[in-house]
A and B are shown apart, each in its own frame.
Chain A
Amino acid sequence: MRGDLLSDPVEGLDEALAAVDAFDEALVAGLLRPGPAQAAAVAGLADAVAGTPLASRVAEAAGRASAGAAGEDHYVALAAARCALLGSVHDALTLRIDEAVGRPAAEDGAAGAGPGAAAADPGTNLLAAARSWLCDLARGGWRGIDHELVAGAVPVVSAMLPDPGLRRRATLLDGFAAELAASCPGATLERVPVRRWADLWSRALLLTVPGSAGDRSAAAVTGRLLPLGVDVQEHATAVQAQIHAVFEPADGGAPRLVRAGVSAPKPDTVVGAGLWQLLRPRMSLLGAVSEGRSMELDAMPVTAEGDLLWDDERARPGEPADAFATARVMLSTATAARVAPLDRHPVRIAVPVLLEGYTARSEEGRLVFDLAGQLLAVDTDRVPAAGPLTPEAVAASHACVGLLRWDAGEFLLQPLAVEATVRKKAVAAHAGAWAGGTTDKAGVRAEKAATDAVAVLRERAGRLLRK
């Protein structure tokens, strides 16, 4: 990998992010009674998309917002402008990563139908309720949040969650609302996560537009799936595990980078190994990952974005496959799918890479890999607690399979697995090693604690829920 390319400035990035930052700061105080600085920020957002098809709608919305008179459609237009700017940032960063890792250009392939072409979304009135709540948030600003306002999301989320077609929206709103609730009242907040909340707000608002949650139409693929590692994401009441893998088509086509995800809602006290326990029954791939096996897929559905829509009926265990061997042999030739336009955002960048021949050291209190003089920060905080991979193991490693990411102005490496030399032998540690279960002593203890916790909650649910 050419680390030097990752530290070179990306043209236009600062200008795009400056427009985003200014708008985000306007949301801190809210747009109910905008001052001159906020009016300028909103106008700046409109200027930034003046050369795009969004121009006239966003200009109108900015005008109304500057006068404190924005309606719901105007907020949606402003959110769309912000998403477009961050989408361009995503594209520029992705291009840079492709150059740095020397990966073949993304498949253009079936780009998928745009929004609107998808079947009508269920729950149109729930989407309208969510939109109305989000617009109230924008009016009051993050400094204006209180318990009553934030609690407005609760009935919407509760009604959405049981419907699989609305799960994506419900999970986002639930995580966002819980963060806001924990931060009430906004007036006395020490600091505000300015970009993060603006991200979550604009994403949630765009997802209230019917048809926006993506086209689930999928092709079917047959061949061999070689796992690289597991990325875990969680908020208080949801978890998702995404397995990054190389897919080798049976028909001899070029290998592809794909993901397979599984997610579930959860009570906030289910943590650690309990997350794996919730997900395990729905996906045999988690067991294969723990055993270091490949899987044979037969007509498994895959979206245009490279997400397998996992179905255990269409997968069976294959030969043993080592993630490092897969990365060394196949990663440089595997092609990536393009990200759907609405989903383009820097937070979405997670490019599987193999790094070798670095030296790990601590720099200003955090771990960095020194790649022939170029430093790459390592985000060990993302390594899930319920697994054998630790920050210490990463620091002692000489080879790493990870995800290249970008946040707050810099590239970061999220380790998925590392190799270290212990008594002259290469020893690997994988973040997702406990996904399918474990015989590791600490792992067994964590499993037992999680089993007990869920058993108590199920017993309580059985007694108290249906009264």
Chain B
Amino acid sequence: MGVGALSVWEKSSTARVMPPARPRKLAKVPFVELADGRLQGVVSSGSDIGRVYVSSVAARTYAFACSTNNNRPCGGARGMFCKHIQALVGEAVLQYGAERVARYLAVETPDGEPDARSLTAVMTAARPVLGDSSAAAQVFSRFLRQLAYLELDAVTAPLPEMQWFPPTRAVA
């Protein structure tokens, strides 16, 4: 400990910790996050405009879960990743980049550069089990919380602390 022990990054007030989300189309999968040791998110139902699925895949075990926002299990997610989970993986790769998703879920793809298809292939080959969907309510409420941000007004009083949050052109 002491002077000179810290690297430049450690001594930076504006060190970038989280790369920003990459732009993607939101219609199919309006919410994706890498949180609580899972890739999880909200997937719009293809048939019912008022219904959404909360889907997740756990890091390392790839245990998966999929249920509606009213807590009904998804019929497709029995022995295998359903189409909602596949869509979730695809959109996560768009938002965060395949490498970051692979790192978070601890997936090692055989030949180098991972993509959505190779990630899904490796995880399904591991024969993951159906996990419990108890976190679904929490994920859904986080999605609603972000939606509610759109209802808040812009303000013109200065926020001096935003100086700690410069943009970055770097991506994940």
Contact = CB atoms under 8 A, between A and B. Distances in A.
Which of B17, B26, B158 counts the most chain A CB atoms within 10 A? B158
Interface string A244-263: 00000000000000011111
Contacts of A380: 169
B146 A237 contact: yes
Interface in A364-393: 380-385, 391
Given A21-B11, A195-B11, A382-B167, A461 B36 contact: no
A259 B162 CA distance: 14
Nearest to A273: B23
B46 to A, nearest CB: 15
Given A167-B157, A196-B17, A310-B156, A450 B23 contact: yes
A112 to B, nearest CB: 13
B145 interface: yes
Given A464-B52, A464-B147, A409 B8 contact: yes
Contacts of B1: 22, 25, 37, 41
B20 interface: yes
Contact-residue bracket for chain B: 35 or more
Interface in A257-292: 259-269, 271-272, 274, 278-279, 281-283
A234 B26 contact: no
A78 interface: no
Contact of A267 (B11, B17, B146): B146
A172 B15 CA distance: 16
A172 B161 contact: yes
A207 B161 CA distance: 10
Contacts of A147: 35-36
Contacts of B36: 147
Contact of A381 (B95, B153, B168): B168
Contacts of B155: 164, 167, 262-264, 282
Interface string A133-146: 00000000000000
Given A216-B157, A262-B156, A348-B160, A381 B150 contact: no
Contact-residue bracket for chain A: 35 or more
Contact of A167 (B6, B8, B23, B159): B159
Interface in A47-100: none
A161 B155 CA distance: 11
A164 B154 CA distance: 9
A269 B24 contact: yes
A309 B154 contact: no
A464 B30 CA distance: 12
B166 A460 contact: no
A267 B158 contact: no
A264 B26 contact: no
A233 B15 CA distance: 13
Contacts of B11: 17, 21, 194-195, 408-409
Interface in B53-95: 69, 95
A260 B2 CA distance: 40
8 contacts: A192-B10, A193-B10, A265-B152, A267-B147, A383-B167, A460-B44, A464-B144, A464-B147
Given A193-B15, A262-B154, A464-B144, 9 more contacts: A18-B3, A194-B6, A233-B167, A237-B146, A238-B162, A240-B162, A269-B30, A269-B95, A464-B69
